[in-house]
Structure 1
Amino acid sequence: MTTAAFYKMNMKSSRKVTSIPQEIIFEIFSLLPVKSLMRFRCISKVYNSLVSETDFVSIHQSRSMTRIGGIKLLAREREGFYTIEQNEDGEASLLHIEYLDVLDDYIGSRNLFECVNGLFCFSTWHQPAIIINPSTREIRFLPKIDVNRYCYCSLGYEPEEKIYKVLYTRFEAFESHARNWIFTLGMDKSWREIESFFLFPRLNEGVCINGVIYMLDSFYQRKRIVAFDVKAESFRTITLPCALPDGVDSYHPHGVDSCHLIEVKGKLSVLENMTDENFNLWILGNGQLQIWERDTITSSPGLPRMNFCSHTYDGEIIFVAEVEGDKFTYFSYDITTKSWRKCEVQGSQREYSIKGIYRCVENLYPLEKCLVNAR
């Protein structure tokens, strides 16, 4: 049989194949990992359109939270970014994320690195904000604004309209207020200035929960949280259940390890480091009345000194022990069962220091929609 005859026969048989309904393709694709879906995008315009569709991206991201392999751990060290790969025996190792080496010039002590739905916002006090999607391996530099020393960015997600916004705050010299701008991913081509708000120097990374970005304010007797509504683009304040310690460098985002804002099962929480072995966990039970509920986390006997460096997912908090040799150890604390789980990670180096561990859920959100800014 000639090649032409073989091709003609296959063309006839292909017409007889019943096409798969779009609804079934949608269901099957929503259960696949991002790596497979990125390949399907190259097959046809129909698949490419489906994978990029807003509702599909949202449903796939939601199902990735419960799919095996849908959530990975990403570690940030002083010298770069790594994924933590764990096998069935509980052993884990660090794998260097080479494509993020482009950010080496941005990594330093004065920066913020926030995670929302698997997307990351990386910002320093003197560089434009950077949005990273580790699932699709995309990096976008947002437009630069004239900055002075005191500025920072936060990433927020608005669940009703399914959009991401970056909040940019800049301190005004010799003033008691800060100026604020918004950049909506996939929509804005430049920053939009919104209402001014009082001066609130940040401490550590913020956290976005149900469309609200929460940030620690080191002023006002060190007892205030600033909340930014992503949809309404407005601010309000919440009183902390505990006071931050004295002697904190107000303009240093990593100036204190004693308090961290985290999410616990959909609620704003404050993790307060009391001693090397004890932590207070304050959970905001009623946001309108600002009623806080306290729980105590006590380390098990024999556990080393630990530092908190992770947001939570599904009721677990990650703590990291000091680096020993070529490995470091992290412990997961289950809030419901009040139990600890240990994991040793190979591949670290003594001179490195773990800046944070993040649970990264797979997300198809296409950063190609974002405006690329020349560096």
Structure 2
Amino acid sequence: MPPWLDGPYYLNEESRGLGFDVSTNTFKMVCVFSRREFSKSETISKDLRTMVHVLGKDSSWREIPQVPPYPTSGDGIFAQGCLYWFRQSNSREELICFDVRNEEFTLICPPKRRCDYFSSVSGDQLVDLLGEVGYAIFYSDDIIEVRVLKKKQWVKHCHFSKRPLPRFSLIKVLGRWNKDGDILIETGYGVKKLFVYSLKNQLLEEINVVGQKCGFGTYIYMYPASSMFSIRGVNKNAHSIKTDLKQLDKRFQSLNL
């Protein structure tokens, strides 16, 4: 029986992530459950439950003793052996980090913001920089700054004005577009627009999407193609991994997640 149907636990919205364990050469799916509905700012570790499933190997999910100090929120971003979630409360902002190999949770401080009295961190986002974890800071003067975590230090990657983007539109920094470090950005609801910020030219330009003018929705998934499909030994478990993913997707759909 899937763990989210066993007992009074509920899967927090998007409180899951997929990471790769280099020590065992396997993918691990991690899900955090809560016993009841509560504010994301509450620290009720006893009401949390962490489940791990090794794709292609485990026949079922297993519970681990480690739980995050706070409920996880948002899609887990995998970088450098860890899954990251962004947590925001009224008093502080932190990143929850899960070491996929050791299966342990830790807290990481986000980058320090420059003095900006008229904006909050409500728009800040974690960014998948294809092997590195990034952090997008939104300032009240329409500047977006992207920083990257390197050796436990937040280093500036780029900054640009969001004024060329559609006004009053939802803005999401999706991640690194190419090896040059250009940034892909998504705006809008439903039918969305995509923009790329070029580090070399320092320009923010819209890119065309096939079918966009016909009203089709756009879904973008970022992953490092060169590493995802060249990992040693993964092809041996390709069929079982594919089967696990299909079964997992059906379970999520049945629960309307």
Q: Which TM-score band (shorter chain)?
A: 0.5 to 0.7
The letter for the 1-side match of 2:166 is P
Structure with greater Cα Rg: 1
* CA shift for structure 1 position 309: 4.5
Higher relative contact order, chain-length normalized (CA < 8 Å, sep 6+): 1
Equivalent residue, structure 2, for 1:262: 127
Deviations 1:157-189 (A, max 9, x none): 123432100111112348711211110001111
Q: Cα distance, 1:231 vs. partner?
A: 0.9
Amino acid at match of 1:304: P
Task: Identify the match of residue 292 of structure 1 among 150, 154, 159.
Answer: 154
CA distance in 1, matches of 2:158, 2:144: 6
User: Secondary structure of 1:225's partner?
Assistant: strand
What is the aligned partner in structure 2 of residue 272 from structure 1?
Answer: 137
Mapped partners of 1:176, 1:301: distance in 2: 41
Match of 1:213 in 2: 83
Q: Which residue number in structure 2 is paired with residue 366 of structure 1?
A: 238
- 2:176 is matched with which residue? 312
Does the 8 A contact of 2:68 with 2:96 survive in 1? no
**Once the two structures are superposed, what CA deviation does each residue of 1:124-157 show, in whole Å capped at 9, x if it has no partner?**
xxxx9xxxxxxxxxxxxx7754364453321111
Scaled by the length of structure 1, the TM-score of the pair is 0.49
* Aligned-partner Cα distance in 1 for 2:193–2:206: 7
Q: Does the Cα contact within 8 Å between 2:72 and 2:96 map onto a contact in 1?
A: no
Q: State the distance in 2 between where 1:220 and 1:275 align.
A: 19
Q: Deviations over 1:6-57 (max 9, x none)?
A: xxxxxxxxxxxxxxxxxxxxxxxxxxxxxxxxxxxxxxxxxxxxxxxxxxxx
1:157 to 2:53 alignment: no
| Alignment check: 8 A CA contact 2:4 2:11 kept | no
On the 8 A contact 1:206/1:261 being kept in 2, the answer is no
Q: Deviations over 1:90-146 (max 9, x none)?
A: xxxxxxxxxxxxxxxxxxxxxxxxxxxxxxxxxxxxxx9xxxxxxxxxxxxx77543
Between the aligned partners of 1:319 and 1:233, the Cα distance in structure 2 is 32
2:232 match: none
Using the aligned pairs only, state the percent identity. Answer: 21
* Cα offsets for 1:242-267 (capped at 9, x unmatched): 58947xxxxxxxxx5x1221244643
Aligned with residue 330 of structure 1, among 194, 198, 201: 194
Q: Which amino acid aligns with 2:149?
A: L
The structural deviation recorded for 1:357 is: 1.9
The 3 A distance-change label for structure 1 pair 335 and 200 is: farther
Unaligned runs of 5+ in 2: 114-118, 230-234, 252-257
- Structure 1 vs Structure 2 CA RMSD: 3.6
Deviations 1:292-334 (A, max 9, x none): 233552237644346125232431221124479xx75311123
Distance 1:202 1:350 in 2: 37
Name the TM-score, length of structure 2 as normaliser.
0.68
CA distance in 2 between counterparts of 1:212 and 1:358 reads 19
Residue identity matched to 1:176: I
Q: 1:196 aligns to what SS in structure 2? A: coil
SS of 1:203's partner is coil
Distance 1:213 1:330, change over 3 A: same
Q: Distance in 2 between matches of 1:359 and 1:316?
A: 13
Residues in 1 aligned to 2:215 and 2:51: alpha-carbon distance in whole angstroms: 38
Q: 1:154 is matched by which residue type in structure 2?
A: G
